[in-house]
Structure 1
Amino acid sequence: MHKLNETEIVAIDLFCGVGGLTYGLQSAGISVKLGVDIDPDCAHPIEHNSQANFLNADVASLDPTIVSEIFKGAPVSLLAGCAPCQPFSTYSRAAKQKHGDAAGENRNEDWRLVEHFGDLVEKVQPDLVTMENVPPLAQQPIFKRFLEKLHGYWVDWRVVECQSIGLPQTRKRLVLVASRLGPIAIPEFEKTPATVRTAIGELPKIPAGGMDPNDALHRASRLSSLNLQRIRHSKPGGTWRDWPEDLRSSCHLKDTGATYPSVYGRMKWDAPAPTITTQCFGYGNGRFGHPDQDRAISLREASMLQGFPKNYSFLPDEQNASFDKLGRLIGNAVPVTLGEVIGELFSDHVAKMRSETTRH
């Protein structure tokens, strides 16, 4: 018997990363008790920025009784997670094209985390479930098998354009919600679009290779003299075609180069940013140039474009952490804003179910 007269939703965040989903859910009033991740670097951001504890573990071998014990006595339980899907990462695809994947020998390994997430749902039977992932997952057999594991749940899923939820990014994500309490649906989101300006417009100016003395994360990677000349000729929203010909790379002159116009691009102030990736701190890795400063976006700017608050701490000593490590943690994060709207959806759902139970 669900104690729907009590409002607390107790959650566990699997594959929690640096806590974007955890922080978003908590901002919506959900009590996240535990974050689980195989990466020990995720301990600090989870425990420093939220009220959740951190468990350094592989979800593939996680004892279901750990989850069940945390959920014991909870008015409403929520199992959440974003299982990494390696087949859809840019670098994974590139590696497979280079080395070949005809035999598909690693394919089961690629999907195992989605599979294990579904296994935990089957064994624990939480009241609520949510999964956030890449849109191509919906076309894969593993997704159908995951849905089959949700027997007994009301389920809804859709691809959400993150601009529609107020995130200043052109990111698209598959969002699934499921409930044993009653019918649940993901609404059409129509929040006011956020822009690069609204997200990072008030941060102090810094040069390429420089850092804000008051914020170790607000630092930008260095630029070579050639790339400094290139960014000075780059227009917000423009392409490398705006440069003088002597600044163009030989790869730009090839036919294949024409398909990557946003590489070495600047963002536009009054538009959303592109999808923030693990390499977003590099000017040549996409449209990651600052709208008007001659540099790539800083790590802090990247995190704020992911919805994290300005004071969010990712590592104990951020000043000495590498761009690669911090870029990976920030780029792989679930956007905080997405966590918030999922949390609000579940809170509204539980309140509605409680109202209907009371009425009857």
Structure 2
Amino acid sequence: MLLNKRTDRSMPVAIDLFAGGGALTVGLKRAGFTVLAAVEIEEHAFATYTANHPEIRAFKQDIRTVKGDALKALAPDRMVDLLAGCPPCQGFTSLTSKYRRYDLRNDLVREMTRLVEEIKPKTFMMENVPGLARRGKPLLNEFRERIERLGYTVTIEVLQVADYGVPQNRRRLVVLGSLGCQIPIPLPTHSKDGKKGLAPWRTVKDTIGSLPEPILLADAKERSTFERSNWHLVRSLSEMNKRRLKHAKPGATWIKIPEALRPECHKGTYRGFRNVYGRMAWDEVAPTITGGCTTLSKGRFGHPEIERTISVREAALLQTFPADYKIDTPYMEYACNIVGNALPCDFAEAVAKECFKALRAGTTMSRWPGNAQQEHTTFGGLNRGELMSRVLSTGNQTTERQLAYLLRKEGLTGWRRHQMLPGRPDFVWPKMKVAVFVDGCFWHGHNCRNLTPKTNFKAWRDKIEKTRARDLRANHSLRQQGWKVIRIWECRLTKAPAQCLLRIRRKLEDSS
């Protein structure tokens, strides 16, 4: 039965845009969301989505024709908790950067923006390749500016999916937004070397080492075993490609292959794509799985030991799809695209859980503290006005000192204080062009706890709104000058200092 607007409101509800074969929906469900609807236009991906998620209202439709009001109507009380989407990334990926052509699909990021504006979900999450922050920087900046004008607090980070249990080297740009709070980036559960109390990265052998040998696609069709194959199928390889694989070293580039066996375009001084015509290594993570995952010339997709590529099912497992997930197409090309274009399910779950926790904490219900329940409070004999004047006069020094102490303890050096930049950031790394603000929760409008004055209600509200507007202008000015901006709430610095430091460290690493 399809979900309708009488869906149980005890669970937060989500909508999946650019749904593909449904990997993001798998993660959303695991994180605790009820997925109300999904939008996908490609026929084979849509069939795969509906085969695995028959209870969800799926629209086979061009996203540009989808109206936010129609999606809101499916939600209880017309309120959507999470709007999630992975707009097509091919135009921003490094694999297409050499062509320097504008991909019309790039503009679909604006459709994500439009639907956030029309639906106004409590939270949203968007995923793409890191190239969106480089080749697609104007689109990303436009997205952020339009969303922040609605009152959303936005976090943008580039994450390595292997740090979250995905057996694959794949970096993804994640954009999280919320009304009333900042959704933290999930803390890693794994690390490359297994240090700091984390599990080591999952390897190729951990994931596909115990699978039986796959069947050739041509043989499966001839023997009528295609339906029973569970897409554990591979393409036939030419004799030349088999010879190339015999010389390929697991985990190494095609340079280890004798020049006489290389394609003509890879001979001599060619130093282009290095990951093609290679093998995976058992004890490492897989390379990034793409739509070319069963084609030797499109990546390091050779099996670690045998003269074949990985199968479609093996690629799906490396993308953390469930072992029994249906891939509903008879065509190898479409099956590979469904798998290769997916956001890994385990990674989607890790990110979605942060949105779920923010919603469960009740910190995403309003745009600013004035919407919280009002309360008259005194502190140590001071009334609210006296207290706030003292808070203002300190310049948020306590939390700044706390962050300075943590930075020194973590060994993060090279920062300067209170440089003459828009908004006067609290900490800046001039060489990396990274600016960090530590924002007091009351003055900057964080809905983390009840701080709303009962007296002079409108005056306080206007003051806070002006501060928020000034913050947005400072963010915009800094980004226009090439700075990367991080804003840290004082409550997050107190409750989750490790997450705050991780955000700063990642931004510095991306800028180095």
Instruction: Report if TM-score (shorter chain) is over 0.5.
Output: yes
Check conservation: 1:59, 1:116, Cα contact below 8 A: yes
Structure with the greater alpha carbon radius of gyration: 2
User: What secondary structure, in the 3-state scheme, does the structure 2 residue paired with 1:194 have?
Assistant: coil
Q: Any stretches of 5+ residues in structure 2 without a counterpart?
A: 1-8, 191-198, 366-371, 374-448, 451-512
SS of aligned partner of 1:158: strand
Match of 1:162 in 2: 161
Secondary structure of 2:242's match?
helix
Q: Residue 70 of structure 1: SS of its match in structure 2? A: coil
Structural mapping, 1:1-360, within 5 Å: 7-50=10-53, 51-73=55-77, 77-89=81-93, 92-93=96-97, 96=99, 101=101, 109-139=104-134, 140-150=137-147, 151=149, 152-191=151-190, 192=199, 193-206=201-214, 214-256=228-270, 258-315=271-328, 318=329, 321-353=330-362
- Report the aligned-residue RMSD: 2.6
**How much does 1:261 deviate?**
3.5
- Matched position secondary structure for 2:83: strand
In structure 1, give the amino acid aligned to 2:164: I
Checking the alignment, whether the CA contact within 8 Å between 2:123 and 2:364 is kept in structure 1 is: no
* Distance in structure 2 (CA, Å) of the matches to 1:274 and 1:179: 33
CA deviations 1:334-354 (Å, max 9, x no partner) are: 211121112211122122236
SS in 2 for 1:255: coil
Post-superposition shift, 1:30?
Answer: 0.8
Greater RCO, 1 or 2 (C-alpha within 8 Å, sep 6+) = 1
Shift of 1:250: 2.8
CA distance in structure 1 between the aligned counterparts of 2:325 and 2:123, rounded to whole angstroms: 28
Report how many residues are paired: 341
- CA shift, 1:66, in A, is 1.1
Local SS of the residue matching 1:47: helix
- Note the C-alpha offset of 1:248: 3.1
**Distance apart, 1:322 and its partner CA:** 2.1
Cα distance in structure 1, aligned partners of 2:315 and 2:22: 15
In structure 2, relative to structure 1, the CA distance for the partners of 1:197 and 1:74 (3 Å cut) is: farther
- Secondary structure at the aligned position of 2:168 is classed as coil
**Displacement, 1:110?**
4.0
Tell me, which stretches of 5 or more residues in structure 1 are unaligned?
1-5
The CA distance in 1 between the partners of 2:139 and 2:289, in whole Å, is 26
Q: Distance in 2 between the 1:158 and 1:24 partners?
A: 19
Cα distance in 1 between the residues matched to 2:206 and 2:312: 17
Q: Give 2:443's aligned residue.
A: none
Shift of the 123–16 alpha-carbon distance from structure 1 to 2, 3 Å rule, reads: same
**Residue aligned with 1:33, SS:** strand
Q: Secondary structure at the match of 1:273?
A: coil
Greater Cα offset, 271-280 or 212-221:
212-221
Instruction: Give the AA of the match of 1:221.
Output: R
What is the CA distance between 1:93 and its match in structure 2? Answer: 4.2
Aligned-residue offset at 1:48: 2.2
One-letter amino acid matched to 2:362: M
Q: Shift in Å at residue 355 of structure 1?
A: 12
Rounded to whole Å, the distance in 1 between the matches of 2:308 and 2:232 is: 12
For 1:131, what is the secondary structure of its paired residue?
Answer: strand
Post-superposition CA distance 1:179-228 (Å, at most 9, x none) = 11423221332323111111111211236666687524001110111111
Q: String of CA shifts for 1:224-267, please: whole Å, max 9, x gaps.
A: 111112212222113334444542333332211x3434321100
Mapped partners of 2:230, 2:205: distance in 1: 21
Percentage of identical aligned residues? 35
Question: How far apart, in 1, do the equivalents of 2:142 and 2:44 lie?
Answer: 31
Q: Are the counterparts in 2 of residues 207 and 294 from structure 1 also a CA contact under 8 Å?
A: no
Query: Which AA in structure 2 matches 1:314?
Result: I
